[in-house]
Chain A
Amino acid sequence: MSKQVRTIVIAGNGTNCEREVANACRLAGAEVADIVHIAELLTGRVRLEDYHFLNLAGGFLDGDDLGSAKAGANRLRHAQVAGSTVSVADQLRSFVADGKLVMGVCNGFQLLVKMGLLPDLDGSGRQTTSLTFNDRGRFEDRWSWLAVDEDSPCIFTRGHKEFYLPVRHGEGKFVVEDEQVLQRLEEQHLAVVRYADTELRPTMSYPDNPNGSVSAIAGVCDRSGRIFGLMPHPEAYVHRTHHPRWTREELPEEGMGLWMYQNAVRFVRDELL
């Protein structure tokens, strides 16, 4: 077990993308990519501490009924792990403190933000940003260009300037509590990826910026660069046939989304094994 890269994808109560996330982890070289239902964590049969890389997959936790991921965040905070006095949220905080990796995609990003784990500018765990309804008021599925802040501490985007990935959400507009939060995000290079035009210039214009996110922000990381969340779906572009124009363009076999998982696996091998 010591030489295995062990990844976990949490499922249940409305997650939808767990299978393709686990597949991306496997393709990126992880020896273990377990899809674990939240009930397994709550019964204590599976423990987060046995893994290196935690994935929070896209979906509609509890239908996003109280706002995206709100009810999900509430469950993680309050539901106790059987036979212990800790919640899953407590386990998650220990996991992060141990120097491990967390990536949340779409609903998983919304969950990290609403639990206060991202961007967590001052380490207090207080929620300072949010994700809300797209400016156009509708769910949309379309592909977007993302420009990477290359000075970001983010582990997952290391060595890459750009990504082309699908967005599939109705509540993906990134907003901040106040200007200071935005300023700190940008100064510390925590606004990892931004919606961009085909020239990779961040943009506020629809549809290149599909939801009206502040400062075109599509994903953020914490100060360590080990917790990362984004609205676009990297697990949905791991092979060239995922690309919407694969029948007309010359593309490499591996899709751009796979790069993020490869970076994660490499980090685990280099730093955690």
Chain B
Amino acid sequence: MAWRIVTGLKDGMIDARGERVRREIREHLGFELTAVKTLDVYTVDAELSQAEVEAAAQGPFSDPVIQNVAINQPLASDFDILIEVGYRPGVTDNVGRTAREAIQYQTGRPFAAGEGVYTSTQYLLSGDIDTSQAEQIASGFLANGLIQRWTILKRDELDPQSGVPVTVPRVTSDSQPQVRSIDLAVSDEKLLQISRDGMLALNLEEMQTIQQHVADSRIQKARGDVGLGADLTDVELEALAQTWSEHCKHKIFAARIDYVDENGHREQIDSLFKTYIVGATSTIRERMGDRDFCLSVFKDNAGVIRFNDDWSLVFKVETHNSPSALDPYGGALTGIVGVNRDGVGTGMGARLIFNTDVFCFASPFLEKELPPRLLHPRRIFDGVVEGVEHGGNKSGIPTINGSLVFDDRFAGKPLVYCGTAAIMPAELHGKPCHEKQVQVGDHILMAGGRIGKDGIHGATFSSEELHEGSPVTAVQIGDPITQRRMFDFLAIAQQRGLYNSMTDNGAGGLSSSVGEMAEDTGGFEMHLDRAPLKYPGLQPWEILISEAQERMTLAVPPVHLEAFKTLAKEMDVEVSDLGQFTDSGYFHCLYEGKTVSYLPMDFLHGGVPQMVIPARWELRDHYEPDFAQPDDLGQTLNGLLGRLNICSKESVVRRYDHEVQAGTVIKPLTGANNDGPSDAAVFRPVFDSFEGAVVSHGICPSYSDIDTYHMMACAIDEGLRNYVATGGNIDHVAGLDNFCWCDPVKSEKTPDGEYKAAQLVRANKALYDYCVAFGVPLISGKDSMKNDYQIGDTKISIPPTVLFSVIGKIDDVRCAVSMDAKKTGDLIYLLGTTADELGGSEYYDSLGELGKNVPKVDAEVALQRYRTLNRAQRQQLVASCHDLSDGGLGVSLAETAFAGDLGLEIDLARVETVGTLRDDKLLFSESQSRLLVTVHPQHRQAFEDLFAGQSLRLIGTVTADKILKISGQDGTVLVDTDIIHLKEAWQAPLREL
């Protein structure tokens, strides 16, 4: 029978969770409740004695000092409406898993198959609401119908003896494993229907390629020899669909593009990826010669660069957009713990050192009516922030750099970028640690979590076909602790040299991980029935492509097999031996001894036909707005500081542990009151060295509306500018590109595909041009190409967005520089010239204008400036350094002042400009490559000498009076404001989120 154990806080304890829910119900839905209390419920579905259940209830399940506990009776009292929210069958229930383990420790015996503990939460609402409002609260805020279900009871409906009726969300299934064959000798129309019905996302040409492949007589014979019929099996078709998916094969970046520019010049591009991304890196590496610090690029789960003689740095950034749109918490949590596996699974394995995160949302205060099935941006904000918080904090990885970018088009699809860096020894057991090689005969070992229907066919909005007992496949919830145990285990297995290769299980599951590893040997033989399942009823093809989390695949040589298994057992990590790597040339899967897939490896990996995409660039009619300069620029500056893209993100930053591992030297928040915005983070990964890693990023989607070429150039410059501001070495830095685009392939649904594809081409051209010009190799990246919302006639496309992340080195972290003004009397320098470049700026946007003059980057000038700045930093001549970006000089001055708790006196007449600019444009222009530096007066000469011949202007001094005073070009005072007011304007907008 199932037991229900309910726990709740004793009288007099503050129910912080309940109070937060009460506040948020008011914010989200406008219902004013007098109180919300919360209770935790454990539904224990296992053969246990009364005494055992009592021991659990009194022991691990409750805290005697603060909680009451009840078994099979209600604890709820004193409420108007009760809402109990629990998971649907098959959804990862981390607390339930821990609760089960706790009981097993107590009783000393394991749960039987099918037994489990399921958790749910009761919300006791007091106040004047009815059940339909409670339904709104449950569906609109407390629960996500895709993964959770709820019960609503009025006070008089709660049975005083037994409480809320027991629900056990056990997965039930009576389906028997079977392998279907699919006849592909059919019409084109039928082929497309097979693809559609099976959610395979294969186009006609791809389906025809597969059709021709199976029709080949040599293939037919080979299949017959292993006992397979003439038709493909569902296992094979699913494996092909996974391997050939946009997600795994990046077909758009690999496509042949027919590009026509604004002058009608035509150009054929054979793969954006090879031409521009790999192309840039090859050019730069060749040029660097002996100084090349790249170790492993594009071929592994993450890029690897040299850190020093003993250590190498690993970096990867992923996106998890669609899952986060469906379930913001689970999607984002899975995003971060997923990218963590990429870091760990690079080369022979690495130790995670920090995370980064960048989110693009619509305004959380959006008041527009949203089209159907979109979650309000505030729910997305809350869920994503919490998901990444749990993923990062619980994994013990500091989150040290990030951004929040706002544009209302992100209501259609939020962007959730999760990055992770790791460190590995340069050599492991005498070989480079960033290299790995599977050997023929190695066993295929899967480690970590079990397989369920998680993530099969990726995220889908359709939940209609779900029935009560069917597991949820659309979304996944990460489990940081199971993953952490696995990582601890892998670290020891690495030291002992127990495996030859490893990779993570992400998109495509075993199909991808084993399929890719087997490229080393040219084949494998895997027994799908040997994989451990979360619950019965999975079909063989589902086992192969499931994206269940927390799993790694390893190649273990026979000689170490026993040691590997023994260590796993000791460390409480499940591992299973699924088969062996071979040189057969075949992707060979079996189920209960029978062959269920037999695909040639070269067809699987090389058979996908190249797409052809038309792209046509055209100049659009952008114009510069005509408006008078505002009378009070102090007020304008205040307004800009409070804009979502500029304001303080402290409430989010503080929720992320940014100091665990004791390596964060430049923290995200800095300055006199620990609340100024750092440009980049500096991290010291090895305790016996003062060498540090520096990480930052650039992202500026607002410029895409004018020209994606310059958007890309500005993102690269912004990333590098932030990086050098803190002291990152411009000659030892690598880049990583994450493209998030709207669908760029012309079709009925996307009539403007040619323009969107041209935008993509232009961004890639800039990526090549500027990486080469700056000498920054790209080491890894990812693209997510279908960020559109389309239901019925409503289509929302995100602005083309590229996150350009950079990682590099500072030789001595004690030379790092923070952005806050340091001392009264320090001199304020502006590096770089200011032009009339306000197209896509925050200032224009605040006026409802886009403009035309998008900022442009002069890489040669910028590179010389950044190198010189590095020299000044090494000589410790720089007291503070802050970049100019959103909101331009005005915002940078204000931030430098209030972060340092000091005033500034500035003369705009001294700023070097290109042509003449009005004072407001000078203050808020977003011209690139500019930095604001403060210098102690005794270093004036040395500092100015270093920059001889470059654009460097002394524009003011740091003052004690805590006033930001800015004089215009004609000497009139434009801004004369207390920094406390400026800071309040900057801190207020997101303070309570």
Q: Within 8 Å CB of B17, what residues of A?
A: 133, 137
Of the candidates B20, B66, B98, B900, the one whose C-beta lies within 8 Å of that of A65 is B98
Of the candidates B20, B99, B572, B654, the one whose C-beta lies within 8 Å of that of A137 is B20
Known interface pairs A17-B660, A248-B822; A142-B98 also in contact (CB < 8 Å) = no
Question: Chain B 18-29 against A: per-residue CB contact (8 Å), 1 yes, 0 no?
Answer: 011000000000
Most chain A CB inside 10 Å of its own CB: which residue of B98, B99, B389: B98
Closest to B660 in A: A16
> In whole angstroms, what is the CA distance A16 to B94 when docked?
18
Inter-chain contact B13/A138, CB cutoff 8 Å = no
Inter-chain contact B669/A244, CB cutoff 8 Å = yes
Inter-chain contact A12/B662, CB cutoff 8 Å = no
Question: Chain A 213-242 against B: per-residue CB contact (8 Å), 1 yes, 0 no?
Answer: 000000000000000000001011010011
Q: Within 8 Å CB of B654, what residues of A?
A: 140-142
Residues 87 to 110 of chain B near chain A (Cβ within 8 Å):
94-95, 97-99, 101-102, 105-106, 108
Known interface pairs A78-B106, A248-B672; A132-B665 also in contact (CB < 8 Å) = no
Question: Chain A 78-99 against B: per-residue CB contact (8 Å), 1 yes, 0 no?
Answer: 1100000000000000000000
A164, chain B: closest CB distance, angstroms: 11
B670 within 8 A of A: yes
B65 within 8 A of A: yes
Closest to B822 in A: A248
> In whole angstroms, what is the CA distance A168 to B817 when docked?
25
> In whole angstroms, what is the CA distance A40 to B528 when docked?
33
Inter-chain contact B16/A136, CB cutoff 8 Å = yes
Closest to B899 in A: A248
B814 within 8 A of A: yes
Question: Chain A 32-48 against B: per-residue CB contact (8 Å), 1 yes, 0 no?
Answer: 00000101001100000
> In whole angstroms, what is the CA distance A39 to B489 when docked?
10
Inter-chain contact A66/B65, CB cutoff 8 Å = no
A150 within 8 A of B: no
Residues 834 to 848 of chain B near chain A (Cβ within 8 Å):
none
A67 within 8 A of B: yes
Of the candidates A43, A133, A247, the one whose C-beta lies within 8 Å of that of B816 is A247
A62 within 8 A of B: yes
Residues 436 to 480 of chain B near chain A (Cβ within 8 Å):
480
A130 within 8 A of B: yes
B276, chain A: closest CB distance, angstroms: 38
Inter-chain contact B101/A71, CB cutoff 8 Å = yes
Chain A interface extent, by class: 35 or more
Inter-chain contact B16/A133, CB cutoff 8 Å = yes
Inter-chain contact B14/A63, CB cutoff 8 Å = no
**B interface residues, tally (CB under 8 Å):** 66
Inter-chain contact A12/B65, CB cutoff 8 Å = no
Inter-chain contact A247/B670, CB cutoff 8 Å = yes
Inter-chain contact A58/B660, CB cutoff 8 Å = yes
A3 within 8 A of B: no
Q: Within 8 Å CB of B105, what residues of A?
A: 74-75, 77-79
> In whole angstroms, what is the CA distance A69 to B84 when docked?
25
B636 within 8 A of A: no
B582 within 8 A of A: no
Inter-chain contact B63/A114, CB cutoff 8 Å = yes
Closest to A16 in B: B396
Q: Within 8 Å CB of A78, what residues of B?
A: 105-106, 108
Inter-chain contact B655/A138, CB cutoff 8 Å = yes
Inter-chain contact A245/B661, CB cutoff 8 Å = no
B167 within 8 A of A: no
Inter-chain contact A238/B662, CB cutoff 8 Å = yes
> In whole angstroms, what is the CA distance A73 to B655 when docked?
26
Q: Within 8 Å CB of A238, what residues of B?
A: 662
Inter-chain contact A130/B480, CB cutoff 8 Å = no
> In whole angstroms, what is the CA distance A233 to B13 when docked?
26
Inter-chain contact A71/B102, CB cutoff 8 Å = yes
A151 within 8 A of B: no
Q: Within 8 Å CB of B166, what residues of A?
A: none
Known interface pairs A17-B660, A60-B481, A66-B99; A176-B492 also in contact (CB < 8 Å) = no
Known interface pairs A75-B105, A130-B65, A139-B393; A63-B662 also in contact (CB < 8 Å) = no
Inter-chain contact B687/A23, CB cutoff 8 Å = yes
B659 within 8 A of A: yes
Known interface pairs A74-B102, A247-B817, A248-B820; A137-B65 also in contact (CB < 8 Å) = no
Q: Within 8 Å CB of A39, what residues of B?
A: 570-572
Q: Within 8 Å CB of A188, what residues of B?
A: none
Q: Within 8 Å CB of B667, what residues of A?
A: 244
Most chain A CB inside 10 Å of its own CB: which residue of B65, B480, B822: B65
Q: Within 8 Å CB of B655, what residues of A?
A: 138-141
A11 within 8 A of B: yes
Of the candidates A11, A12, A241, the one whose C-beta lies within 8 Å of that of B665 is A241
Inter-chain contact A37/B571, CB cutoff 8 Å = yes
Q: Within 8 Å CB of B488, what residues of A?
A: 11-12, 37
Q: Within 8 Å CB of A135, what residues of B?
A: 14, 16
Residues 107 to 144 of chain A near chain B (Cβ within 8 Å):
114, 127-130, 132-143
Question: Chain A 232-273 against B: per-residue CB contact (8 Å), 1 yes, 0 no?
Answer: 010110100110111110000000000000000000000000
Inter-chain contact A63/B394, CB cutoff 8 Å = yes
B516, chain A: closest CB distance, angstroms: 30
B224 within 8 A of A: no
> In whole angstroms, what is the CA distance A128 to B65 when docked?
6
Most chain B CB inside 10 Å of its own CB: which residue of A19, A23, A42, A233: A19
A29 within 8 A of B: no
Inter-chain contact B16/A134, CB cutoff 8 Å = yes
Known interface pairs A134-B16, A142-B674, A241-B814; A37-B659 also in contact (CB < 8 Å) = no
> In whole angstroms, what is the CA distance A20 to B659 when docked?
11
B606 within 8 A of A: no
> In whole angstroms, what is the CA distance A182 to B45 when docked?
40
A158 within 8 A of B: no
Known interface pairs A71-B102, A245-B672; A60-B394 also in contact (CB < 8 Å) = yes
Q: Within 8 Å CB of A168, what residues of B?
A: 393, 657, 659-660
Inter-chain contact B674/A235, CB cutoff 8 Å = no
A212 within 8 A of B: yes
Residues 661 to 710 of chain B near chain A (Cβ within 8 Å):
661-662, 665-667, 669-672, 674, 684, 687
Inter-chain contact A235/B662, CB cutoff 8 Å = yes
> In whole angstroms, what is the CA distance A177 to B12 when docked?
11
Q: Within 8 Å CB of A114, what residues of B?
A: 63
> In whole angstroms, what is the CA distance A129 to B66 when docked?
9
Q: Within 8 Å CB of A77, what residues of B?
A: 105
A168, chain B: closest CB distance, angstroms: 5
Inter-chain contact A74/B106, CB cutoff 8 Å = yes
> In whole angstroms, what is the CA distance A233 to B396 when docked?
14
B484 within 8 A of A: yes
Query: Could you list which residues of chain A lie within 8 angstroms of chain B, going by C-beta atoms?
Result: 11-17, 19-20, 23, 37, 39, 42-43, 58-60, 62-67, 70-71, 73-75, 77-79, 114, 127-130, 132-143, 166, 168, 175-177, 212, 233, 235-236, 238, 241-242, 244-248
Would you give 23 A-B contacts (Cβ < 8 Å), ordered by A? A14-B481, A20-B661, A20-B662, A23-B687, A37-B488, A59-B396, A60-B396, A63-B95, A63-B480, A66-B98, A67-B63, A70-B60, A75-B105, A137-B20, A139-B657, A140-B655, A141-B653, A244-B667, A244-B670, A245-B670, A245-B674, A247-B822, A248-B900
A-B pairs with lowest CB-CB distance, top 3:
A16-B396, A137-B16, A20-B662
Told that A74-B106, A175-B65, A242-B662 touch, could you supply 11 new A-B pairs with CB distance under 8 A? A16-B396, A17-B396, A17-B662, A23-B687, A60-B481, A74-B102, A132-B13, A135-B16, A143-B674, A177-B64, A248-B820
Query: Could you list which residues of chain B lie within 8 angstroms of chain A, going by C-beta atoms?
Result: 13-14, 16-17, 19-20, 59-61, 63-66, 94-95, 97-99, 101-102, 105-106, 108, 389, 393-396, 480-481, 484-485, 488, 492, 570-572, 653-662, 665-667, 669-672, 674, 684, 687, 813-814, 816-818, 820, 822, 880, 900
